[in-house]
């Protein structure tokens, strides 16, 4: 097992059997509202390597756009994962829900055109004004 994660109340748990890919910071307004922070941090994994360990029946879903579905804990509200219509074989994990501090290498910032002014990006990661494929 490569990674494990959970919600704040630990009623929902998941595991990842492979390394995460496309680890990024998203500065879009939806992710900011969803997390209550200046940006969200995600990593992608094939659905073949992702498994709900417990509490799957407690998942709440929300679709802020027609092409995304967000999954959170219906008990504590922790945001856990996102799925996208354009990438149906992948799950995008909210990196803050990972247990412990796994060694993850962030690759880029996306939707920097939507970044809040008080958030300064001073790292050397690639920066995309929208989705990486569209920038």
pLDDT tens across 52-77, in order? Answer: 999 999 999 999 999 999 999 999 99
Domains and CATH numbers, the chain: 3-134 (3.90.1590.10)
pTM over 0.75: yes
Q: How far apart are CA 130 and CA 134, in angstroms?
A: 6
Q: How far apart are CA 10 and CA 22, in angstroms?
A: 26
pLDDT tens across 3-37, in order? Answer: 999 999 999 999 999 999 999 999 999 999 999 99
Q: How far apart are CA 34 and CA 108, in angstroms?
A: 20
- Beta strands in 10-123, from DSSP E residues, in sequence order: 13-16, 21-26, 40-46, 50-54, 59-62, 68-73, 79-84, 90-94, 108-110
Q: Are 1 and 84 in contact (CB under 8 A)?
A: no
Return the H-helix or E-strand segment holding 30: helix 29-35
């Amino acid at each position: 097992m490569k990674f494990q994660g959970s919600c704040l109340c630990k009623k929902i748990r998941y595991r990842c059997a492979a390394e995460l890919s496309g680890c990024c910071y998203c500065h879009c307004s939806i992710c900011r509202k969803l997390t209550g922070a200046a940006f969200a941090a995600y990593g992608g994994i094939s659905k073949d390597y992702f498994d709900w360990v417990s509490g799957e029946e407690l998942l709440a879903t929300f679709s802020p756009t027609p092409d995304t579905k967000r999954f959170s804990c219906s008990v504590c509200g922790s945001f856990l994962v996102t799925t996208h219509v354009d990438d149906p074989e992948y799950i995008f994990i909210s990196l803050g829900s990972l247990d412990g501090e796994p060694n993850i290498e962030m690759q880029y910032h996306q939707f920097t055109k939507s970044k809040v002014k008080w958030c300064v990006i001073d790292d050397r990661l690639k920066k995309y004004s929208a989705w990486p494929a569209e920038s």
